[in-house]
Chain A
Amino acid sequence: MDNRVDTDMTAVAAIEPDAQLMLRVRAGDEASFALLLERHRNSVVHFLYRMLQDQAVAEELAQEVFLRVYRSRESYEPTAKFTTWLFRIATHLGLNYIRDHRREKGKQSLDREREDAPARQFADAGPSAEDRMVKEAKLAEVRAAIGRLPEKQRAAVLMHKYGELEYSQIARSLKCSESAVKSLLFRAYESLRGRLAHMA
């Protein structure tokens, strides 16, 4: 087992440290899993939050993502970047969730967080009430613009804009070609430009 890990680790050493960590997890090193979790927890939760616009669901699904990573540790092979694999699982779970909850979702979830969220407190020296309202309105507009994108376009934009994934990584996450990703992104940004360009 150790020999196998050493061989694989040598092979991917030049690729990325995350794959090395995952190979250590495969060899039974729990601390490496904690390190991977520490590195990617925020990006996965934030990706799912922006995709589903629901913090509780995003965290639950993000846990499922890491749980699946942990479950498949024994069969892990570093065939692609670790983040590609991670976002592929996250995208899969996110899209499935959207499909499963399409009927009940509607506009409800867009507003749910704001209703459930505790009242935010601002220091006196902070922005004025008017500024805050303008900021909130802008944020709501951005959320709505992203929420209106078709699922795959939304996932592609979120991986491109916030996850800073390369086209090839997005393509592997969405199981499509790079040219298809470019087309998805072009259409997505076209919609977003139409809805958000006035906010400059």
Chain B
Amino acid sequence: MTNRECPIAQNRPDVLIDYVARRLDLGRLREVEDHAAGCEPCREFVAEQAAAWSALDSYSAPPVSIDFDRALYRRIESENRDPWWKRFGRRIFFAGEPGVWRPAMAATAACTLLFAIALTVPKRVPAIVEKAEAPAVETAEVESVEQALEDLEMLRVAGNPAI
């Protein structure tokens, strides 16, 4: 059986990972064992996963320093001595649930920016009005140019009656 032909190796490698991690119930465990006995891709997968799993076992962490709790309680006491507004700010922005206030902070920043822009808008209104008047001037210029061209044409015709 090839990797593509095995439904477990192809679609459910998590079952094999759980099998190596011994996270399957007994019934499922035996099922996978029976299947792997006749399936080469699954046997190979399990062997490699087991090797990696065992290597990861060797990655032990050093013991936690004995001062850990004391340092933590010092920080708690220090925070408790802070003024109320500092504690309030920490509870809002640095409390247990991560990430909740980041969008809120972004939204607040966006609102502040919009508010600041809104404050400056009235100063720009006259500029818009000026711009709105500009086409009228341009229209007048075009008309005067046209008038001048017509006058020239009349003069040209008057100067040469043969035309």
Contacts and interface: CB of A to CB of B under 8 A. Distances in A.
Interface of A: 34, 37, 41-42, 45-46, 49-50, 55, 59, 62-63, 66-72, 74-76, 85, 88-89, 92-93, 135, 138-139, 141-143, 145-146, 157, 160-161, 175, 182, 185-186, 189, 192-193, 195-200
Can you list the 3 inter-chain pairs with the closest CB atoms, starting with the nearest? A72-B96, A200-B51, A92-B98
Given A142-B59, A196-B51, A196-B55, A67 B99 contact: no
29 contacts: A34-B69, A49-B62, A62-B68, A63-B68, A66-B72, A67-B75, A70-B76, A71-B90, A75-B91, A85-B97, A89-B96, A138-B58, A142-B55, A143-B59, A145-B55, A146-B56, A157-B56, A161-B21, A161-B53, A175-B99, A182-B14, A185-B14, A185-B17, A189-B49, A192-B52, A193-B48, A193-B52, A196-B55, A197-B48
Contacts of A37: 69, 72
Contacts of A85: 96-97
B21 to A, nearest CB: 7
Given A186-B17, A197-B48, A71 B96 contact: yes
